A and B are shown apart, each in its own frame.
Chain A
């Protein structure tokens, strides 16, 4: 296999990791929404916790994106 082709395939494989981050972000926002609908009074106070969980989860997806970019442009 040509190295350039292997690079492109590797970048594509690295992007699979983003699916996991997508599941995680969906779980966080879904659970927040269901909790907020049960107890709307407490929802506003938990907004920064929501954003914190979202940010920590999303970082993992960004890591796989970084690996894809590194393979495409830096290797």
Chain B
């Protein structure tokens, strides 16, 4: 047994760096989560702004990365949400780059994964949900309710379909936020569980140290998988945002 018990949950603890005190019963502080968010914004801004400051006809490597990222998200918005949704391109691009970079920064040792706390992902998902509802009503008026009545359905099935559609619409922010949070949380816990196995086996003796190579290899492979999952979940979050925006713009199926 190791002297300190290995807790896979320990990595998600929030530490106060600069406490601001309690305001109205709520605790305010600049935490490690907030620090990682600030670093994420700085990294994204640096990647996008510095290489593109002097725009060249033949792009440098940095400018090429920024242009590829821009074009990738633009094509995604245009193909998934339609041309009318391009006014929401800045929103989708911001969400995608923020989640992508914060997930990948969270993979660094001694770092912190911002998306491993449900309050962060829930705020992002509720933001998207409110934009969809408000913009849907502002653009379509009461025709937005056509979203719940798929066309081409016989009248005797409608009374069954409409409640299902309403429930599925209302559960969108829940699944939208839980997906990102659950993936990041579960992936990081699995990494730490395998890391704990390495430490536990190595403390047994020489034979245990040899056997510890197996979980170590597993942890290395899972680290690669986590980098993939972090990128994939950022993409999934952005694609689902586009799908929901498409519903707000074209509510009739």
A selection of 24 A-B contacts at a CB cut-off of 8 Å is A45-B79, A48-B79, A48-B80, A51-B232, A51-B235, A51-B236, A52-B239, A52-B240, A52-B243, A55-B179, A55-B240, A58-B179, A59-B175, A62-B175, A62-B178, A62-B179, A62-B182, A62-B186, A65-B182, A65-B186, A66-B178, A66-B182, A69-B185, A73-B9
Taking A52-B243, A63-B178 as known contacts, 9 extra A-B pairs with beta carbons closer than 8 A to each other, sorted by chain A number, are A45-B79, A48-B239, A51-B232, A51-B236, A52-B239, A55-B239, A55-B240, A59-B178, A59-B179
Q: A54 on the interface (CB 8 Å rule)?
A: yes
Number of contact residues on B: which range applies? 10 to 19
Q: Give the interface of A toward B (CB within 8 A).
A: 45, 48, 51-52, 54-56, 58-59, 62-63, 65-66, 69, 73
* 0/1 string, B222-244, CB within 8 A of A gives 1: 00000000001001100110010
Contact A48 B182 (CB under 8 A): no
Chain A binding surface SS class:
helix
- Residues 25 to 84 of chain B near chain A (Cβ within 8 Å): 76, 79-80
Q: Which residues of B are found within 8 Å of A62, using beta-carbon distances?
A: 175, 178-179, 182-183, 186
Contact A48 B178 (CB under 8 A): no
- Residues 174 to 226 of chain B near chain A (Cβ within 8 Å): 175, 178-179, 182-183, 185-186
Q: Which residues of A are found within 8 Å of B9, using beta-carbon distances?
A: 73
Q: Which residues of A are found within 8 Å of B179, using beta-carbon distances?
A: 55, 58-59, 62
